[in-house]
Amino acid sequence: QVQLVQSGSELKKPGASVKVSCKASGYTFTGYAMNWVRQAPGQGVECMGWINTNSGNPTYAQGFTGRFVFSLDTSVSTAYLQISSLKAEDTAVYYCARYLGSVRSLDSWGQGTLVTVSS
């Protein structure tokens, strides 16, 4: 079955960087785009963008350019989200989610990774 397993919680200081991983299994990794979704504490979900797992080409939503980088290692079916120059307002749960084109929606989600930015 399709599974997305994310790396564990992170506690970082302002100005540091973090890299969140999302390991996929149960399907052909390069056949489906991977989205990244952020949820700040007590807030709704917002899409940060997505990465084409075939070409490696990323697309970033407004507000997620510059410090945010999506990348892949197709040899281990893993997508990554790296955030640099962390700020307190980056504190959130970050989810990876597979985009299924036949239903035009996110059909499988990782369990989420809590990134806490605090001095």
Residue 52 to residue 115: CA distance in whole angstroms:
24
**Does 91 engage in binding with another protein (CB under 8 A)?**
no
**Does 55 engage in binding with another protein (CB under 8 A)?**
no
Nearer to another protein, 103 or 119 (CB): 103
Which residues in the 9-38 window bind another protein by CB under 8 A?
Answer: 35, 37
Partnered with residue 113 across adjacent β-strands are 94
Alpha-carbon dihedral sign for residues 25, 26, 29, 35 = negative
Parallel/antiparallel/unpaired status of strands 58-60 and 105-109 = unpaired
Residue 5 to residue 111: CA distance in whole angstroms:
7
**Does 103 engage in binding with another protein (CB under 8 A)?**
yes
**Does 81 engage in binding with another protein (CB under 8 A)?**
no
**Does 105 engage in binding with another protein (CB under 8 A)?**
yes
CB of 119 to another protein, least distance (A): 26
> 114 CB contacts (<8 Å, ≥6 apart)?
9, 10, 92, 93
Q: Which stretch binds another protein (CB under 8 A): 18-26, 66-74, 81-89, 100-108?
A: 100-108
Nearer to another protein, 27 or 99 (CB): 99
